[in-house]
């Protein structure tokens, strides 16, 4: 459903031609936009015989804070086209009008001075790479109306320290927040059932992750390289912890499994300070799940143990204190 939403938004924008211009009499800013059913989409799509190329909504030389008008020449602003503010390197802040429901792919990619973004209530979709590499962005509140965030939307926002995710979200897409190296804590909303590959990879300052009770899957390298993460609780409904999901979390010391997940090879590879594993129920562990975890010293098992446990799951079983909780 999420991907259909993103594709539908992209198709609508691609069909919206031709481009229009309007100069705001109050600010003197020239806006480029596209009309679709009488509504303005910021930026334009200039179609040639070979391709569709985005045109910036404002001149790339614009410097400072920007408030997007509610309407352009009488047409309500409802969406931001792909690449509409691409590489507006001197843009420092942007405030959206309430009518905007879609921010498309690459809309603000590489806006390297953008520190503040005020997103509107009623926003539904944030497209792939929409704010990718906005390296000055420091805090972010995504309104609860948002139900779809595309892959890489905030990847490389290396100054982002605080993040509030919307309640309506069901999936954290691939590499959405990867390499947000200043992010210290994140609470995943209750409605999220899947965290996709690389979603928070290389968030090197992340110390706390709160996973929701309804979470079902944790994807490939989802938290790979979160080297400051200390403790972790895997919720009861999680069915799969994918390859490298928590690999190279060098300071991770304790993991508690509340359910009976399938933990794939390399899931915790390179967690060199991992000391305690606590299994509350049975689990399926593949060989290599805890490869290169030389500090592992205690494993707590449920009364049923871990049936079908293969040799090689734990790096040095003779050095581990296995305890069965009755």
Is the per-residue pLDDT at 281 higher than 80?
yes
- pLDDT at residue 6, as a whole number: 55
Domain count, the chain: 2
pLDDT in the model for residue 288: 92
- The more confidently predicted of residues 167 and 311 is 167
Over residues 299-312, the mean pLDDT reads 83
Q: Answer yes or no: do 120 and 192 share one domain.
A: no
Same domain for 125 and 188? no
Q: What is the pLDDT of residue 304?
A: 84
- Place 310 in a pLDDT band, splitting at 50, 70 and 90: confident
Position 167 pLDDT exceeds 70 = yes
User: Per the domain annotation, does 178 fall within a domain?
Assistant: no
Inter-residue contact 123 to 5 (CB < 8 Å): no
The CA distance from 326 to 322, in Å, is 13
Task: Identify whether 237 is part of a domain.
Answer: yes
Q: Are residues 199 and 69 in the same domain?
A: no
Check whether residue 130 and residue 188 sit in a common domain: no
Cβ atoms of 314 and 292 within 8 Å: the answer is: no
Q: Is 154 left (phi over 0), alpha (psi -120 to 50) or beta?
A: alpha
The per-residue pLDDT for range 178-231, each reduced to its tens digit, is: 999 999 999 999 999 999 999 999 999 999 999 999 999 999 999 999 999 999
62: in domain? yes
pLDDT tens for each residue of 108-156: 999 999 999 999 999 999 999 999 999 999 999 999 999 999 999 999 9
**How far is the C-alpha of 155 from the C-alpha of 201, rounded, in Å?**
9
Model confidence pLDDT, tens digit, residues 67-110: 999 999 999 999 999 999 999 999 999 999 999 999 999 999 99
- The answer on 73 and 189 residing in a single domain is no
Average pLDDT value for the chain = 91
**Spatial distance between the Cα atoms of 309 and 20, rounded to a whole number of angstroms:** 65
177 domain residue, yes or no: no
Report if residue 144 sits inside a domain. Answer: no
| Gap between the Cα atoms of 47 and 92, Å rounded | 30
Position 153 in a domain: no
Q: Is 90 a member of any domain?
A: yes
CATH number of 69's domain: 3.80.10.10
β pairing state of 75-80 and 71-72: antiparallel
Residues 79 and 192 in one domain: no
By residue range, what is the domain housing residue 82? 1-134
State yes or no: pLDDT of 15 exceeds 50: no
Cis peptide before 200 (omega within 30 of 0): no
Average pLDDT over residues 30-59: 78
Residues 1 and 106 in one domain: yes
Give 314's pLDDT tier (boundaries 50, 70, 90): confident
Please check whether residue 161 lies inside any domain of the structure: no
pLDDT at 51: 47
């Amino acid at each position: 459903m999420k991907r259909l939403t993103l594709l539908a938004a992209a198709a609508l924008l691609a069909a919206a031609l031709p481009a229009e211009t309007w100069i705001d009499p109050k600010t003197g800013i020239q806006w480029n936009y596209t009309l679709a059913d009488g509504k303005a989409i910021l930026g334009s799509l200039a179609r040639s015989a070979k391709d569709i190329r985005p045109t910036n909504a404002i001149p790339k030389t614009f410097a400072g804070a920007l408030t997007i008008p509610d309407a352009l020449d009488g047409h309500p602003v409802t969406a931001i086209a792909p690449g509409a503010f691409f590489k507006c390197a001197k843009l420092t802040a942007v405030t959206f009008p309430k009518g905007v429901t879609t921010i498309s792919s690459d809309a603000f990619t590489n806006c390297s001075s953008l520190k503040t973004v005020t997103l509107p209530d009623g926003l539904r979709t944030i497209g792939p790479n929409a704010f990718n590499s906005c390296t000055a962005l420091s805090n972010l509140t995504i309104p609860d109306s948002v139900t779809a965030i595309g892959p890489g939307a905030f990847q490389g926002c290396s100054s982002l320290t605080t993040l509030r995710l919307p309640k309506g979200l069901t999936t954290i897409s691939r590499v959405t927040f990867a390499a947000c190296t200043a992010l210290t804590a994140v609470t995943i909303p209750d409605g999220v059932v899947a965290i996709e590959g690389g979603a928070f990879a290389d968030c090197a300052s992340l110390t706390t992750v709160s996973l929701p009770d309804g979470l079902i899957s944790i994807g490939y390298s989802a938290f790979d390289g979160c080297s400051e993460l200390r403790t972790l609780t895997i919720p009861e409904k999680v069915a799969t912890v994918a390859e490298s999901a928590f690999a190279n979390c060098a300071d991770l010391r304790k993991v508690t499994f509340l359910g009976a997940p399938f933990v794939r090879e390399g899931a915790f590879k390179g967690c060199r300070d991992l000391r305690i594993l606590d299994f509350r129920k049975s689990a399926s562990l593949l060989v290599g799940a805890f490869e290169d975890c030389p500090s592992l010293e205690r494993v707590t098992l449920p009364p049923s143990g871990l049936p079908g446990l293969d040799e090689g799951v734990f790096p040095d079983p003779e050095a581990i204190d296995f305890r069965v909780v009755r």
